[in-house]
Structure 1
Amino acid sequence: MPTVVDCPTCGKKVEWSEKNKYRPFCSERCKQIDLGAWAEEKYTIPGGAPTDPLDDPLDEGKQ
């Protein structure tokens, strides 16, 4: 039995197989909507700002 997942964008049931070039999305449209959300920074990883400047990975090499 093939694996079926929900499209992360619209929730439609999608077969997870090599035949679906957009997996885990159901279509190119849903894939582009998700990409746009990432580009607009709508998705975030919860957490606080680093309290120690040495813990900030974006500050590497600035010492």
Structure 2
Amino acid sequence: MAGFPTGHTKRQKEMARKRAASAENKAFKTGAACNIFVAYVYWNPTSRELEGQGYLPDDMDIPDVNN
């Protein structure tokens, strides 16, 4: 994917792997506890893909994040 960094060290990849799961869980729990839309998206240097987690309350439409 163009525009994303590729020169990560092994240590950086390990830190991203370990911390991302915690951040994803925290994002979901925050959205559920506060009944708010939450999106957490990050570039995974190991899989070289965008990954993330989110929460959308049942009574809410998907927000237009382009504005």
TM-score of the two chains, using structure 1 as the length reference: 0.31
Higher helix share: 2
Higher strand share: 2
The structure, 1 or 2, with the larger RCO (C-alpha pairs under 8 Å, 6+ apart) is 2
Q: Which has the larger radius of gyration?
A: 1
TM-score of the two chains, using structure 2 as the length reference: 0.30
